[in-house]
Chain A
Amino acid sequence: MGVGIEVTNLNAWYGTNHTLQEINLDIPANHATALIGPSGCGKSTFVRCINRMHETNPIARVTGTILIGGLDIYADAKPVEIRRRVGMVFQRPNPFPTMSIYDNVAAGLKLNGYSNRHVLDEVVEKSLRNSALWDEVKDDLKKKSGASLSGGQQQRLCIARALAVDPEVLLMDEPASALDPVSTSKIEDLIFQLKSQYTIVIVTHNMQQAARVAEKTGFFLNGRMVEFDSTHKIFTNPSDKRTEDYITGRFG
């Protein structure tokens, strides 16, 4: 099951660049939350703070608190444990190109020490079913490489890979921006199905996509979160003029 994410006074820097400033928000469990804003506004940095990827850059720094299911991820957990609990899917599908479809999905489990073939088979099937890819690849699991799939299939393979390690949170950084409309619809349908089991945070430049998939939406601008509210409110009657200007295309 998904868990809630409580962010308090979060600040992040790249060197001297203060990329996130005093972010406070509660991301509800088992919902999809969309983050929108112009390029460079800090939304991707924000999701990279949630799985502690931001700090992998040597000049990066973070202050503040992020609780995931009550766990203080910066004080009480190691990055590797957090990244198991918080899966991430990127803009461009990045399957391991030389691995089979099966091994792509099982990779995370194997890294975590699982080797029992029966367990791996079960998890691979379940993950591929949950990512709505099973029916398309079940006959070629070990015959084809991840790179042989179409772009949309590769992205769902990456989602299966993220799901295989049984995360509680799924971060998606523009997961459909490189996909055609049919593949995009499949990813959106998937988000709709997955949120009953996971807490989903999706960064997107596509306003309609945010409106379609997310119950909550946050608008970032210049490293600050300008507005966080129900998606309905943000897209029909936002409280802040800057939000309205952005979603109506007046700037950004």
Chain B
Amino acid sequence: MRSLPILGFVVVVIGGPTACRDDTPGSGIVLRVSDWGSPAVESAFMTVERELQEGFERRHPGVRVRKEQIPGPGQYAPKLCMMHVAGSAPDVMHLDASSAAIFIDNGVLLDLAPLMKNDPTFDRSHYFENVLDITRRGDAFYSVPLDFTPMMMYYNRRLFDRAGVPYPKDGWSWDDFLAACKATTIVPAGARQPTQYGYNFENVMPFWMPWLWTNGGDVLDPTGTRASGFFDGPASVEAMRFLTELMVTHHVAPTLAERAALGGDAFLNGKAAMDLKGHWMLIDYRARGLDVGAVSLPSRTGRPVTVIYATGLAISRHTRHRELAWEYVKYMTSAAVQIKRVASGLAISGNRQAAAHYAADPADDVEHAFLRAVDYARPPWGSRVENYPYCESLGEEMMEDILYGATSVEEAVRRTAGLMDAVLSP
């Protein structure tokens, strides 16, 4: 008898939380949707998203959309993987193209092709084909595009005007780029380092990898199984040497230490004339009052090239609400919803009609430059090769070695290509 209160306490402690679950029978269907956003830093955007979700809930009485946010760099993919392994993956997932392969190639996601085919209200031609194909495997489709951005070269018009340098144009070369960098770099007399740089180099591989492509090089072979012969190939090595020389030889881009001293993003702070970034930065540039233009990357091959990063909506293979999840995907990627969703300028809508809505002004050359890039942009390796995010971390460590002068470009690249091969080997 004396043990009864203790037993009761144990029952309450263990049973209490179970009894408090909010998806008990009778409370309607809860559709779980995951993304990597954080209400703390993107409150305005999240408010819009919540309003759009409420619109979906009104169309489907008895259904509640529950957003599961997993913020933090590098947290989203591991958490989703664990949720999948534990059998508790969300019904709908925001899928980042740069790490999509890990989910697609391991059976985490539902093939949407049958749903697309059997749904007369869905039309694939409403979406940018290039973007839709990022998560395509043969006839199988694993996501519907929400939004995307090609990486483009931004330039600060005011700094170009001040230096008397004409704005760059599509089809420009590395030599044109270097000349513009030199012309816009300002070193005051007697100063040890520039107060303004031509280019804001950032050691984030997704930001500098497209330079390899502009010289005809690449990170991996076309099958995505080997880095040696490509990452350490002459064209790639030359591209990486060109980048490092911008900092070390020409002093037209801040070194890693100088960049930190400038307070981070030198372009955003108005202390660099050019930067290679995506559409999302427009929000910050406009907030800071920067007058920016956008142009394709300078190329040595005569052909424009860049990488396209995208977000799509995917459905878990184990969802219990397949039809409802598909309805949600269609709703969120529809033109009417997308026009509201991308109003902030965070990215370009994957829906052609919504994208055209924001490119209606012929004078908006930035938006048009981004849209032109869709035709020639390539998908990121992470959408094809599941271990590629680890290769990127190796690439960033390598670039650090080079920039601190610990090793030559050739030696660092050769060694890193070997490490990448080991990571990619089955």
| A in complex with B | no
Interface residues of B (CB under 8 A from A): none
